Every structure is written in structure tokens, then in C-alpha cells.
């Protein structure tokens, strides 16, 4: 079965943001290693790898807007909500553990990693509900 | 929401995939609607009704009427 046009656009945009992310991450690391920028430029360079990751959220948002199949859209919204709940819950719990000196400090971007892991959990939840309904 | 979609589809000899293609949705969506796990939006309900040349209430059973 061929991919729907909105899914093709989503895949293309996602690949593009990941390529930009890889370039920005390697570039920023090399910049800081070989000729560390200072002042405002340092902030700009340091935030460069974050921009394509922010772009991923825009890409996912665009897919939700463009998706014509409302049931599949509902499944994806549910998956995203599970991811959001999971990422925020773990981050909050970690924050308190860190506050009481029980765990090491974790960089803020781990929340995004948790969110993507949460998408996997949401996907499993959707698959499980579909499987139970099909029985 | 209960509905008569499966019966109407079967009367025409269509598979879920056939109906999905006619409605421009996924087979997954057709299955979810048929089994009452998902209530379609009003535009999709109208599209379904128009495809079967029925009124919406001839396909979908009002929750208040069981």
C-alpha cells in the first residue's frame, strides 16, 4: 500500500530536520572544540542543534493538521499526549530526586529524549488497544 | 455509537478496504467506526450517508435510542 501524500511530506520533512540536526550538532561541537565562540555568538552556536529538534515538533504538528484520516489523527494525538505525560512525569520526578541530592544532574534536553521514548509507549498503547478490539 | 455500517457494506459486497477507499480513509478507520470504537465527525458521517444514499440516522443509532 502506498504512503498517503501527507505521510510522504512528513517523512521528507523529518529526514530533512534530522539531517540539519546532525550537521548542526557536529558543527557546534567542532566550533566549540577548535575555536570556542564567546559572548552572544556562543549562545547562538550552542542553541543551533536545538533548532532542528524544535523543528521536529513543528513537523509533527503539521502532520496532525494535514492528516485527512481523522481516526488515525486521533490515535496520533493520543500517542502524543501519552508521550507528553510520560516526559513531564519523569522529568518532574527526576527534578525532585535531583533537588534532594539523590541523583545526578541531567541536561534539560533529556526531556525531549523522554518525549520520543513516550511516543514509542503511546504507539504500543495504540497497538494494544487495536489488537484487543480486533479479538 | 452503534451503527448499521457493516450491514450496509455487506449488502453491497464491499470489503472494509473498498469502503475505506471510497471514503478516503484508512481501513483501520472503517473498522473502528463499524465496531463502535470511534464516532466519526459530522463531515465524515455525512460522507458515509451520502455514499449509501441514506440519512445519517438511518446508519447511526442515536445513543439515547440505544
pLDDT of B64 reads 83
* Domain end call among A68, A92, A123: A68
> Does the complex come out with an ipTM higher than 0.90?
no
Domain count, chain A: 2
Expressed as residue numbers, the domain containing A25 is 1-68
Q: What is the pLDDT of residues A75-118, one digit of tens each?
A: 999 999 999 999 999 999 999 999 999 999 999 999 999 999 99
Cα Rg of chain B (Å, integer):
11
Other residues' Cβ atoms within 10 Å of the Cβ of residue B40: 24
> Is the confidence at residue B9, as pLDDT, over 60?
yes
Provide the shortest C-alpha distance from residue A6 to chain B (in Å): 13
> Is the confidence at residue B49, as pLDDT, over 90?
yes
pLDDT of A130 reads 87
pLDDT of B8 reads 96
Residue B3 pairs in a beta bridge with B60
Residue of chain A with shortest Cα separation from B25: A69
> Is the confidence at residue B66, as pLDDT, over 80?
no
Q: Specify the long-range contacts of residues A54-62, CB closer than 8 Å, at least 24 apart.
A: A55/A17, A55/A20, A56/A14, A56/A17, A56/A18, A59/A10, A59/A13, A59/A14, A59/A17, A60/A10, A62/A9, A62/A10, A62/A13
Question: What is the longest distance spanned by two Cα atoms in chain A?
Answer: 61
Dist CA B31 CA B51 (whole Å): 17
Provide the shortest C-alpha distance from residue A71 to chain B (in Å): 5
> Is the confidence at residue A13, as pLDDT, over 90?
yes
Do A94 and A48 belong to one domain?
A: no
Residue of chain A with shortest Cα separation from B45: A70
Do A62 and A84 belong to one domain?
A: no
- Judged by a CB distance cut-off of 8 A, whether residue A72 touches chain B is yes
Query: What domains appear along chain B, each with residue ranges and CATH number?
Result: 5-61 (1.10.260.40)
How high does pLDDT run on average in chain A?
A: 95
- Judged by a CB distance cut-off of 8 A, whether residue A68 touches chain B is yes
Q: Cell 440505544: give the residue.
A: B66
Amino acid at each position: 500500500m502506498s504512503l498517503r501524500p501527507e505521510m510522504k511530506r512528513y517523512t521528507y520533512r523529518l529526514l530533512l530536520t534530522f539531517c540539519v540536526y546532525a550537521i548542526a550538532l557536529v558543527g557546534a561541537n567542532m566550533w566549540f572544540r577548535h575555536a570556542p565562540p564567546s559572548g552572544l555568538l556562543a549562545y547562538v552556536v550552542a542553541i543551533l542543534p536545538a533548532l532542528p529538534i524544535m523543528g521536529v515538533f513543528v513537523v509533527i504538528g503539521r502532520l496532525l493538521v494535514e492528516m485527512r484520516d481523522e481516526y488515525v489523527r486521533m490515535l496520533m494525538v493520543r500517542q502524543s499526549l501519552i508521550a507528553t505525560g510520560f516526559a513531564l512525569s519523569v522529568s518532574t520526578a527526576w527534578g525532585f530526586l535531583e533537588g534532594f541530592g539523590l541523583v545526578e544532574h541531567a541536561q534539560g534536553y533529556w526531556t525531549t529524549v523522554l518525549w520520543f521514548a513516550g511516543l514509542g509507549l503511546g504507539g504500543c498503547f495504540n497497538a494494544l488497544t487495536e489488537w484487543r478490539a480486533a479479538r | 455509537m452503534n451503527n448499521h455500517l457493516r450491514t450496509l457494506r455487506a449488502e453491497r459486497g464491499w470489503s472494509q478496504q473498498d469502503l475505506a477507499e471510497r471514503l478516503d480513509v484508512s481501513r483501520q478507520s472503517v473498522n473502528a467506526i463499524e465496531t463502535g470504537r470511534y464516532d466519526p465527525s459530522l463531515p465524515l458521517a455525512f460522507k458515509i450517508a451520502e455514499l449509501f444514499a441514506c440519512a445519517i440516522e438511518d446508519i447511526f443509532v442515536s445513543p439515547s435510542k440505544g
